[in-house]
Amino acid sequence: MKKILCIILCFQIGMIYSQEENRDQIINEANQLIATGNKVLVKDGNFPKAEGEYRKAIAKNPVNATAKYNLANAYYNSEKYDEATHRYTEAAKAASARSEKHKAFHNQGNTYMEQKKYKEAVEAYKNALRNNPKDNETRYNLALAKKMLEQQQQQNDQNKDKDQDQDKDKKEDNKDKKEGDDKEDKKGDDGDKEKEKGEDQKDKEGDKGEDKKDEGDKEKDDKGEPKDEKKDKGKDQKDEEGKPKDQQQQQQQVQGKLSPEQVKSLLEAMNNQEKKVQDKINAKKAQGSKVKTDKDW
C-alpha cells in the first residue's frame, strides 16, 4: 500500500514539475516574441511585423501584460487610437504590479487626449494616479485634461445656443415666408375677384347698352312714324294735295328706288297726265253750261 502511495506522489510531483517547465517555456517563448516585436518596431519601423509578433505572444501567454501593453503602444504610435485604448485596458487588467497599471492608464489617458475625448482622459489619468499618486507628469496631464474639458463644454454650450438661435431664425424666416405667401395668395384672390367684378360690370354695361338700343329703336318707331301711320297720313295728304294715295305711295317708292333723272321724268309724266285729266274735266264743265245771252225776266 505504501508503495502505491509513493508511486502516486511521485507521479504528481513529476506532473507539477513538467507543468512548471512548460509554463516557464511558454513564458520564455512569449518573451522572445515580444523582444522580436520590439526589435522590428523600433529598429525597422515595421509595424505590421511587430503587431504580428505581439499577437503571437498574447496567444502564447494570455496573461502576459507586457505583450498587451507593447501592442497598445504600437497602435498609439500608428494613430490607431481605438485599438490602442482597448489594448491599454487589457494591459491594466492583466498587470499585477501597480506600476504597470499606472503606465497603462497613463498612456490610455494620452490616447483619449489625441481623440479630444477629454472626459475619458480625465478618468484615465485619475486611475493612473490611484496606482501612483506621486507621478507629476500624470498630475499635469490630468489638470490639462480638465481644462480642455471645460473649454470643450463651453464651446458646446455656445454651439448649442448658436444652433438654437439659427433654428429660431429659421422658424421666423419660414413664418415670414409663409405670411408673405399667404399675402400673395390673398392678393391674387382679390385680383381675381376684382377681375370677375370688372367682367360682371362689363356684362351689365353691355346689357344696359342693349336695353338702350332697344329703347332707341322703340322711340324711333314712335317718332319715326310706323308704316301703318304713314299709310293713314297718306290718306290725309290725299285730300290736301289732290293726289291719290296710291300715286303718292308709288311716288315715294319710286323715289326710293330710281335715280334723280328718272324721278324727274316720272314726275313730269305724272304732271302731264294729271293736266290732261284736268283739261278734260274743265271741257266737260264748259259744255254742260249754256251761255246766257238774254236777261231773265
Residues 193-227: pLDDT tens digits?
777 776 767 666 666 655 555 555 555 445 444 44
- Could you give the CA distance from residue 69 to residue 58 in angstroms, rounded to a whole number? 10
Locate the domains of the chain by residue range: 19-150, 242-272
**Mean pLDDT score, 247-268:** 64
Q: What is the pLDDT of residue 291?
A: 38
Digit-coded pLDDT (tens) for 145-193? 999 999 999 999 988 888 787 888 788 878 878 887 777 777 777 767 7
Q: Are the beta carbons of 146 and 176 closer than 8 angstroms?
A: no
Q: What is the pLDDT of residue 240?
A: 43
Q: What is the pLDDT of residue 216?
A: 52
**Mean pLDDT score, 110-116:** 97
Q: Are the beta carbons of 27 and 58 closer than 8 angstroms?
A: no
pLDDT band at 14 (very low <50, low <70, confident <90, very high): very low
**Mean pLDDT score, 34-54:** 91
Helix 2-42 and helix 65-77, axial crossing angle in degrees, nearest 10: 10
Q: What is the pLDDT of residue 16?
A: 44
Report, in this order, helix, strand and coil percent for the chain, each rounded to 5: 85, 0, 15
More confidently predicted of 232 and 173: 173
- Could you give the CA distance from residue 118 to residue 27 in angstroms, rounded to a whole number? 37
Which CATH number is 19-150's, of 1.25.40.10, 1.10.3720.10, 2.40.50.140, 3.40.50.2300? 1.25.40.10
**What's the distance, Cα to Cα, between the start and end of the chain in Å?**
227
